[in-house]
Chain A
Amino acid sequence: MSDEVRAEILTTHILDLAKSGRRIDGRGLDDWRTVTVEPGYVTTADGSALVRIGDTAALCGIKLEPGKPFPDTPNAGVLTTNAELIPLSSPSFEPGPPHPRAIEVSRVVDRAIRAAETIDLTRLCVTPGEKCWTCFVDIHVLDHAGNIIDTASLAALSALTHAIVPAKRFGLAEADYALEIQHRPVECTFVRLGDAIVADPLVDEEKACQGRLTVATDEVGRVVAMQKGLIGAFSPDDVKDIVERAFKHGDRLRSLAAGA
């Protein structure tokens, strides 16, 4: 049986199940897989976290280094987010320059962190226009079993939450200090399967879906980022419904990121 035929049968099966509120792994439409957060996984990083959502795993490492502020933001530090969909994590990822899908993950995770003002970038400024901290948020997706965006975003938040500014090492202060977190954005992703909208999609559900929507919320009730992706559409009412669900799940995930 060709891959195409197999994929088509599986898609039909997934859509049929969704009609009766069921999913291929037995979850309900609004259920998440088990989420685990392991902060401090990599000791060479200034902050890190390994996050698993079901069989999906992403590792985020934070590195803080002295750098120069951008000319248009002389009073602010620099934040860069990069997500790598490395080939060891899925047969569908290839080595080489970043695929648009990796760029999308990076940018959507970055958007939430930035728009929520997760860290106060002005606090990362050392000498205006001259010297600042550059905060690198690097995410490696290690195992891709669906819903990379949420796994990566939760890994980034957890790693930032536990990050230490290595000020002593760079001779910028007497002692290292904890990176201050102002807000806690969490992204929640949903896909449409026929008329059903399911949370935390598996790879096969992503392949079968008619549209994906990610909503990032923070702890003070703000939506800070959204991204519709893949082929398909959502009505404005779908979007409003998804936003409510994202707030509900977001609060639970936020407590996991802070925990341990």
Chain B
Amino acid sequence: MGSVGAKEVPTLLTPDGRRIDGRRLDELRPLSITAGALNQADGSAFVEWGMNKVMAAVYGPREVHPRHLQENNKAIVQCRYNMAAFSVDERKRPGLDRRSQEISKVIAEAFESVIFVEEFPRTSIDVYIEVLQANAGTRCAGVVAASVALADAGIPMVDLLPSVAVGKVAGSIALDLKKEEDNFGEADLPMAMVPQSGRLVLLQMEGHMNREELGQALDLGVQGCRQIHEKMKGALRERYAPSSANPQEANA
């Protein structure tokens, strides 16, 4: 999208339904999740998803800064989604641009929808997402990492929050777009789903789809989220399952 440029459009979909990296339309990129990737944070996770590398840390519940944001009947959830200057092809100016601020807002709202915030009045649960290497779908990778980090921090939640982007590529609805597909595709629809209820707590869309395509995209996203949910549970089991965990590490 936004490709009012001179760049040549690569072949995004072969006649036999293969995508630019050989995937089928309903196939995810390789995803690996490591729970507990950092030492100082209360909870953390590292996600490698396709060519994305995203780190997440959770601090809290802790005192609210700045103080006036404090709420008497619940915890607030604050999120900072940030992209490293070197995470994209052309150096990005460091700090939060407007895109990052918008993404931080919708991610914070998504997590506040699943965390039992009433249990921690007057506190803040701070979620930090750092995109180290970007290749489309970084907000979804960030949500997956942050959700595992929240679980790692022992924050009580309704459920984990798998997240994926669905898009429209060369006229077809495709799961988990990579960069070329995002840049030259016709639509992008990131979502995050509560597996238990099947409801969406994060949903954005840009591009163009008709109603049928949109319905199809939602269904494909739900299916993608279910697969990602399994991987998230796997990452937490890996860290905490008594059979495989090193006790020292588990207590760290």
Contact = CB atoms under 8 A, between A and B. Distances in A.
State which size class the interface on B falls in. Answer: 35 or more
Nearest to B99: A107
Interface stretch (A38-46, A110-118, A144-152): A110-118
B6 A74 contact: yes
A74 B109 CA distance: 37
Contact of A235 (B6, B198, B208, B209): B198
A223 B194 contact: no
A257 to B, nearest CB: 19
B189 interface: yes
A224 interface: yes
B200 A236 contact: yes
- Of the candidates A73, A231, A232, A239, the one having the most CB atoms from chain B within 10 angstroms of its own CB is A231
Contacts, number: 118
B2 interface: yes
A110 to B, nearest CB: 9
Contact of A116 (B200, B208, B214, B222): B208
Contact of A100 (B104, B194, B201, B210): B104
B218 A103 contact: no
A228 B218 contact: no
A230 B109 contact: yes
Contacts of A122: 4
Interface string A221-235: 111111111111111
Interface string B81-120: 0000000000000000011011011100100110000000
B170 to A, nearest CB: 17
B5 A221 contact: no
A121 interface: yes
Contacts of A74: 5-6
B67 to A, nearest CB: 16
B204 A228 contact: yes
B211 A235 contact: no
Interface string B205-223: 1111111001100110010
A227 to B, nearest CB: 5
A67 to B, nearest CB: 15
Given A226-B189, A236-B222, A115 B206 contact: yes
A240 B204 contact: no
B119 to A, nearest CB: 15
Interface in A53-90: 72-76
Contacts of B101: 100, 103
Contacts of B206: 111, 114-115, 224-225
B interface: dominant SS: mixed
A223 B109 contact: no
B99 A224 contact: no
- Of the candidates A101, A232, A236, A238, the one having the most CB atoms from chain B within 10 angstroms of its own CB is A236
Nearest to A100: B105
Nearest to B201: A233
Contacts of B204: 226-228
B191 to A, nearest CB: 8
Interface residues of A, number: 44
- Of the candidates A103, A114, A122, A247, the one having the most CB atoms from chain B within 10 angstroms of its own CB is A103
A213 interface: yes
Contact of A73 (B4, B98, B109): B4
Given A100-B104, A223-B210, A236 B218 contact: yes
A250 interface: no
A223 B214 contact: yes
Contacts of B194: 233
A189 B215 CA distance: 18
A213 B203 contact: yes
Interface string A199-236: 00000000000010100001001111111111111111
B199 interface: yes
Interface string B181-208: 0000001010000100111111111111
Contacts of A104: 102, 105-106
Contacts of B246: none
A174 interface: no
B203 A231 contact: no
B200 A224 contact: no
B4 A107 contact: no
A25 interface: no
B104 A231 contact: no
Q: 10 tightest CB-CB pairs across the interface, nearest first? A: A226-B205, A233-B199, A228-B203, A76-B4, A222-B208, A236-B218, A100-B105, A233-B201, A73-B5, A231-B112
Interface of B: 1-2, 4-7, 72-73, 98-99, 101-102, 104-106, 109, 112-113, 187, 189, 194, 197-211, 214-215, 218-219, 222
